[in-house]
Structure 1
Amino acid sequence: MNDDGVVGLFQGVRLTPTQRRIAHSLVQHASAAAFLSAAEVAELARVSQPSVTRFAMALGYEGYPALRRRLREVTSKTVPPPGGNEMQQAVRAEMAHLDRLADQLADRDRLAAAGALLAGSRPLPVLGLRAAAPLAAYFAYFAAKVLPDVRVLDSGGSLLDDRLEQARAAGATAMLAVVLPRYPRESLDAMRAARSAGLSIVAITDSPVSPAAEYADIALTAAVGAQLVFDLHTAPMALSMVVLQAICDAAPDDAQRRLEEFEQSVNRRQVFVS
């Protein structure tokens, strides 16, 4: 399945929430969707059939049949599979994801805007539930060396709402949200609540048509590997460190000062052996 080609059909198009749901379904089921009727796509995306028709017209097609023909063209352009066993192929696929991420970073404007939003938030809440929790913790571990107050939100329930409200009351103006498949409902609810509270949101997610993109002021994407039993998050992890670099670039003097203070502290306490 050529996911990247399908995603390219939606690039630069302003989609409504319903249209995002349709686009996401087409990405997730690209090979099959290229042969489905409008009614079947509607059932897959849990929307009405007229919504599918309007979606196709929003992309510039006369109707869904024209979009389906384009989907068939895109999904038929297969790439020869890399050699080696399934483990090697999964790792090589991650290398391809990193290559695509590197290409995306040629345009640094959105990344710089994300860095500026996050650098100015005191404290900085970092949302990551379920599969995204380790990545949120990884980001926060390093971010705490250059920011005075980083708060990881890695558990759901009513306590998540409490911690969001506490961060806002303490002065937070932005939140970093890491939302990866299978897109926990609580993550989307938390993003919605953060927006209602006036927080700007930068999201790290896997696709421009991810449900998380609907609630983000800036959505930064990196593909998730799905070749093994469990997903590989190599590219999203790399992107998280790129975002942290953008935060440092947005306030270089503050970042340098805090890094020097950190080094003095760990040397005094002999935290590391080298």
Structure 2
Amino acid sequence: MSSNNKNELLRRIEEQYKELSKGQKRLADYIVQNYDKAVFLTAARLGKVVGVSESTVVRFATQLGYKGYPGFQRALEELVRHKLNSIQRMEVTYGRISQSEILESVLQSDIEKIKMTIGSLDQKAFEEAVDTIVKARKIYIIGIRSCAPLANFLSYYLNLIFDHITLVHTNSSSEIFEQMIRIGEEDVVIGISFPRYSMRTLKALEFASNRKAKVITLTDSVHSPMTIYSSCNLIARSDMASIVDSLVAPLSVINALVVALCMKKQKEVVKTLETLEEIWDEYQVYSGDELNQVDDRMELGYEE
């Protein structure tokens, strides 16, 4: 495997291996061969397993260019993120914190993902995505498994703006291609995929690209396989190594995309909403299942 294709941590180890001390080389050898186990270890525990001191572990992390052991451990998490099963991924994140700290820890992690997304999102790519969607003859949206709610959310709001939205149903690969059979160069497909990446989503983007359709991706990295067929990449951080990948930042990007599109199509959106309000009122869409506050009691808002 070439150096360019290697994970950043493995590349650093390879490049600096000759300059490492004897103890650090033992650490490097262990990491390369057992990174899926090392990711769960504290600095003290890793040192004990390898047979070196905790201070040697910390110096090893610094030698590789990381800000102490925490920075090194985040690099380890990045390395194993795509290879761990769900139980192991849960242990990586939550094995180090107490039950009482989980709520604050998860929320703080989500906040960090949004901050990191703000710093890394390409404004030009975002504007290109908006313009591409506005000009498209038909818009296809695809997201599978944990990304399906994101695709549904985006589809719901784009349907208020455009009349040519297709939310691709993804029970099978054949079903995907059947729904996209008429896609062409005047159309756009928005593919949403985060680790673990969906092969069906990737194949759908390849299918669209081969038919010269515009491809927009919402994914976690420029190194994501989803970007292979994409001309416009929206990057949102979602690298919480746990049983649940954080989708807060991707949802925020989708919100921004919807708002930007609404601004571009204000007249159409206002007209649609006015029509919907009339329909909701005429057919009492909400009166049958709303809860209304009456004095200090909650009453169902339906009429006899």
Q: Fold match, TM over 0.5?
A: yes
1:211 aligns with 2:189: no
Identify the residue that residue 265 of structure 1 maps to in structure 2: 279
Deviation per CA, 1:176-208: give whole Å up to 9, x if none.
Answer: 111111111111111011011121011111112
Identify the residue that residue 255 of structure 1 maps to in structure 2: 269
Task: Mark the CA change 1:162 to 1:258 in structure 2 (over 3 Å): closer, same or farther.
Answer: same
Measure how far apart 1:158 and its partner are: 0.9
Secondary structure at 2:181 match in 1:
helix
Measure how far apart 1:123 and its partner are: 2.6
**Aligned equivalents of 1:99 and 1:225: distance in 2?**
13
Secondary structure at 1:34 match in 2:
helix
**Aligned equivalents of 1:270 and 1:91: distance in 2?**
38
The alignment yields a C-alpha RMSD, in angstroms, of 3.6
**Aligned equivalents of 2:168 and 2:181: distance in 1?**
12
Task: Mark the CA change 1:263 to 1:242 in structure 2 (over 3 Å): closer, same or farther.
Answer: same
1:114 aligns with 2:106: no
Task: Mark the CA change 1:268 to 1:112 in structure 2 (over 3 Å): closer, same or farther.
Answer: farther
Secondary structure at 1:165 match in 2:
coil
Match of residue 144, structure 1, among 144, 159, 162:
159
What count of residue pairs does the alignment treat as equivalent?
Answer: 223
Task: Mark the CA change 1:257 to 1:103 in structure 2 (over 3 Å): closer, same or farther.
Answer: farther
**Aligned equivalents of 1:203 and 1:147: distance in 2?**
19
Mapping for residues 43-122 of structure 1, pairs under 5 Å: 72-74=64-66, 76=68, 78=70, 85-104=101-120, 108-122=123-137
CA contact (8 A) 1:125 1:152 kept: yes
Measure how far apart 1:95 and its partner are: 0.6
CA contact (8 A) 2:192 2:218 kept: yes
Task: Mark the CA change 1:203 to 1:34 in structure 2 (over 3 Å): closer, same or farther.
Answer: same
Deviation per CA, 1:85-130: give whole Å up to 9, x if none.
Answer: 244212211011112233446x643212111111222331101122
1:157 aligns with 2:135: no
Equivalent residue letter for 1:246: A
Flag structure 1 segments of 5+ consecutive residues without an equivalent: 1-17, 44-68
Flag structure 2 segments of 5+ consecutive residues without an equivalent: 17-28, 34-60, 75-95, 291-304
Match of residue 34, structure 1, among 9, 12, 28:
12
Secondary structure at 1:35 match in 2:
helix
TM-score, L = length of structure 1: 0.68
Equivalent residue letter for 1:141: Y
**Aligned equivalents of 2:229 and 2:62: distance in 1?**
29
Equivalent residue letter for 2:144: L
Measure how far apart 1:209 and its partner are: 1.3
**Percent of paired sites with the same residue:** 16
Which runs of structure 1 show a deviation greater than 3 angstroms over 4 or more consecutive aligned residues?
A: 18-21, 30-34, 74-84, 102-105
Deviation per CA, 1:52-88: give whole Å up to 9, x if none.
Answer: xxxxxxxxxxxxxxxxx99922465846999972442
Match of residue 201, structure 1, among 212, 215, 218:
215
Equivalent residue letter for 1:270: Q
Measure how far apart 1:257 and its partner are: 2.5
**Aligned equivalents of 1:90 and 1:33: distance in 2?**
30
TM-score, L = length of structure 2: 0.62
CA contact (8 A) 1:127 1:177 kept: yes
Deviation per CA, 1:133-166: give whole Å up to 9, x if none.
Answer: 1110111112211111221113131111111113
1:130 aligns with 2:122: no
**Aligned equivalents of 2:179 and 2:228: distance in 1?**
22
**Aligned equivalents of 1:35 and 1:20: distance in 2?**
11
Identify the residue that residue 185 of structure 1 maps to in structure 2: 199
Q: Which has the larger radius of gyration?
A: 2
CA contact (8 A) 2:215 2:232 kept: yes
Larger relative contact order (Cα-Cα within 8 Å, sequence gap ≥ 6): 1
**Aligned equivalents of 2:246 and 2:129: distance in 1?**
24
Equivalent residue letter for 1:35: I
